[in-house]
Chain A
Amino acid sequence: MSDSWLVQHVWLIPLLPLLASVATAILGPTVLRERSHWPCLAASAFAAVLSFLLLFTKTDLANPTTPAVYDWISVGLFEVSVVLRVDPLTCLMLVMVTSVGSLIVLYSVGYMHGELGYWRFFTFVALFLFSMTMLVLASNFLLLFVFWEAVGLCSYLLIGFWYHKPSAAAAAKKAFLVNRVGDFAFALGILLVWIHFGVIDPVNGYGRLDYDHAFANVQNITDTALLAICLLLFCGAVGKSAQFPLHVWLPDAMEGPTPVSALIHAATMVTAGVYMIARLSPLFFASPGAQLVVASIGGFTALLAALIALTQNDLKRILAYSTVSQLGYMFLALGCGSVFAVTAAVFHVFTHAFFKALLFLGAGSVMHAMGNVIDITKFSGLRHRLPRTHWTFACGAASLAGIPLLSGFWSKDEILAAVLHRSHEQSGIVFQVLLVMAIVTAFLTAFYTFRAYFKTFWGDEVIPPEAGDHAHESPPVMTYPLMVLAIFALGMGLVLSGIGIFLDKPTLIGQFLGHMPGWSEHTEHNANWGLMIGSGVLALAGMALAWWMYGRSTTLPDLVARKIRPAYNLSRNKFWFDEIYQATVVGPTVVIAHFGRFFDNWIVDGLVHVVSATPRFLGRRFLRPIQNGLIQFYALGMVIGLVILVLAIKLLG
């Protein structure tokens, strides 16, 4: 074994948050109280350091799995152990989860200060980090599924953190139930994997659920089976990563505390879907039909969410829809079916995590100062009041918008280049349409991001009355994470990709992920300068348009809204997705539930009540009068019994 100590002890990374979670849960309410953030902060910071070290450690690529940490299931030939897998993709995800996670934890120390259930928050966050790190470290489908569900559970707990607020409770329930739909398909997909890949090698492969077995045998199963597996697994990703039919839960998840939104949108939860497809890309490479579906859903979601985000007034909701849109981008890339495209998707996940966490934490900082008001029509011109928040938010917004040289620009450009490349190949017409949608989305992204930015930080200074005298900059514990994230948002793309493109060499991220076992090596890609300049100009144009409409105090937006009233309403009401689901899915389900309740209360319970009431009635009516306390009466009973006994013996015997 040439593996380093770090690879052998990679289990420390998930273990630390788990210990922190347990410690906070036990000690939080009584001992730690206002210091409840320490275990979580220390564990996540230490895990982040380990992850960074792991990034620079040579891993054994031929055999990326570590020895079993724990024998979980062992039934005959069916064996599932907790085996961790360390390869470049995992390392990258670990760095992202733990570093963004620990910055968010640091920020939460300031944001959640004095909150009821302070310890509860950090317990859940630590559990969340544990689940997510285990999810990316898992080496087989069953383990992936377990932590897939654990991430869902943690998001439910955190979205519903203010459970006494009905809207938060409803949002948590919605997130959980919508995810259930996807997870059900995901579970079916895993069963299919088990069935199809298990029977190939009945002697020592039966019931093998690890990735390597599936990757090695991807050519040995029928195309139909592979398509079914890929589509079902993708359904799971659609639920978890909030893609088109199941995207409705993510904007509602804004009901949770803002650091939770940042955590869900950036480091954990929604990235799980993208990670899963990227991890299983050898399966998707072999199934062009599944690629088409993945790319179409992704491209469509990107455009749809961008259109919705145009007219939202809730700052966090705009960011939520932008997350949905960016995730759509990632799926679009994942559907292109080339190593370069998957690399681009993972790169975008990575950069997106930093600038989206930055934007959410910035929005949280605004919310903190504005007395929990988040409606961008209620405040404006905050750039003097909140200078640090303003600058860091600007960095994040510019990065998200794809302003040239910032991190979002590079990753988005790689995705566009991958789609362009794919559109010259088989079924290219679909990808040509998707490319147009993606370019339109890129423009819209720049526009709505800067709309939110200009409406919040520019114009005349307006502060809502709820803010009171709190309308000042947040404490350093909140602004320092913002600055760190801002540096990442500004420079990371340049370091990971830009320098390589300028020097006409393989990019850093491409080199790094090019070593993935199972991913073929051809990652060279000529920089498409035309596309890069085009998308940069589009982003700047979107920004300029946003400034022209919202940067100056004009009535122009209202005028435009009046001119295109139906389209405006469509976007404003989020294409009525919630209403449609209410009418088609939720409503009938509620009717069925009411019927079920009626059936249960009156028919099932009724039967039980009749059964229980019968002896009581008989006893009251017939048995009770017999018990009159008179000795002779009891003696008479005995005599009658004796007579009956004697007669019975006489007559029957």
Chain B
Amino acid sequence: MLTNYLIVAAILFSVGTVGFLTRRNMIVMFLSAEMMLQGVSLNLVSFGRAWGNWHGEMFTIFVLTVAAAEAGIALALIVSLFRQRHSLDVSLWQELREPGQPAVIDAFELECESEESEWPQLTPAGIEPVRAEDEANETTHVR
């Protein structure tokens, strides 16, 4: 009974790990990390059930809370990083390597939308949306 749950949890965790290690798209990496978290959470819940107490559930709720906060920060970071390089490729960010070390350059470039494509723009907070007739002579900025 417990074993089945554990197997599913292990599969979730492993899939997440492999996904995190092999994918270069930051959002996919983030999702993989979430998947690892869910694997662990599943483990906790199943052990809690097996022992007949609420420890596992309590931990899981805690993990979910932290994961929610982490998701907020991580996605904000990803958006910010994306703004800088117009790409989600994580291998574009390796400036923290030791000085003198050559950069790792992947043989395959991450396929992404062309540079020219229009990105959706968020409506700036607190500023009235620009009406259609004004769009011609005014561009909006994101604060």
Contacts and interface: CB of A to CB of B under 8 A. Distances in A.
A, B: real partners: yes
Contact of B101 (A628, A632, A636, A639): A628
A625 interface: yes
A633 B98 CA distance: 13
A629 B101 contact: yes
Contacts of A631: 29, 90, 93
A639 B21 contact: yes
A627 B90 contact: no
Interface in A622-638: 624-625, 627-633, 635-636
B91 to A, nearest CB: 6
Nearest to A632: B21
Contacts of B22: 632
A630 B98 contact: no
How big is the A interface, by class? 10 to 19
Interface in A581-635: 624-625, 627-633, 635
Contacts of B17: 639
Given A631-B90, A631-B93, 11 more contacts: A625-B101, A627-B97, A627-B98, A628-B98, A628-B101, A629-B93, A629-B96, A630-B91, A632-B90, A633-B104, A636-B21
Contact of B98 (A624, A632, A635, A639): A624
Contacts of A636: 21
Interface of B: 17, 20-22, 24, 29, 90-91, 93-98, 100-101, 103-104
B28 to A, nearest CB: 12
B109 to A, nearest CB: 15
B101 A624 contact: yes
Contacts of B21: 632, 635-636, 639
Given A635-B20, A636-B21, A627 B104 contact: no
A207 B35 CA distance: 82
Nearest to B33: A635
Contacts of A633: 104
Contacts of B91: 630
Nearest to A636: B21
Given A639-B17, A639-B21, A629 B90 contact: no
A629 B20 contact: no
A35 to B, nearest CB: 61
Contacts of B90: 630-632
A631 B97 CA distance: 10
Nearest to B90: A631
B94 A628 contact: yes
Nearest to A625: B101
A96 to B, nearest CB: 73
16 contacts: A624-B100, A627-B97, A628-B97, A628-B98, A628-B101, A628-B103, A628-B104, A629-B94, A629-B95, A629-B101, A629-B103, A630-B91, A630-B97, A632-B21, A632-B90, A639-B21
B95 to A, nearest CB: 6
A630 B93 CA distance: 7
B18 to A, nearest CB: 9
Nearest to B98: A627
Contact of B94 (A624, A625, A630, A635): A630
B26 to A, nearest CB: 9
A639 B17 CA distance: 8
A630 B101 contact: no
Contacts of B24: 632
Interface string A398-441: 00000000000000000000000000000000000000000000
A628 B24 CA distance: 16
B29 to A, nearest CB: 8
Contacts of A628: 94, 97-98, 101, 103-104
Nearest to B96: A629
A625 B102 CA distance: 9
B94 to A, nearest CB: 3
Nearest to A619: B98
A36 B124 CA distance: 78
Nearest to B91: A630
Contacts of B94: 628-630
Contacts of B98: 624-625, 627-629
A635 B20 CA distance: 8
A628 B103 CA distance: 7
A262 to B, nearest CB: 67
Contacts of B93: 629, 631
A551 B97 CA distance: 92
A578 B57 CA distance: 94
Nearest to B17: A639
Contacts of A627: 97-98, 101
B71 to A, nearest CB: 17
B20 A630 contact: no
Contacts of A632: 20-22, 24, 90
A629 B94 CA distance: 4
Contacts of A639: 17, 21
A629 B104 CA distance: 9
Contacts of A630: 90-91, 94, 97, 104
A155 B35 CA distance: 84
A625 B95 CA distance: 14
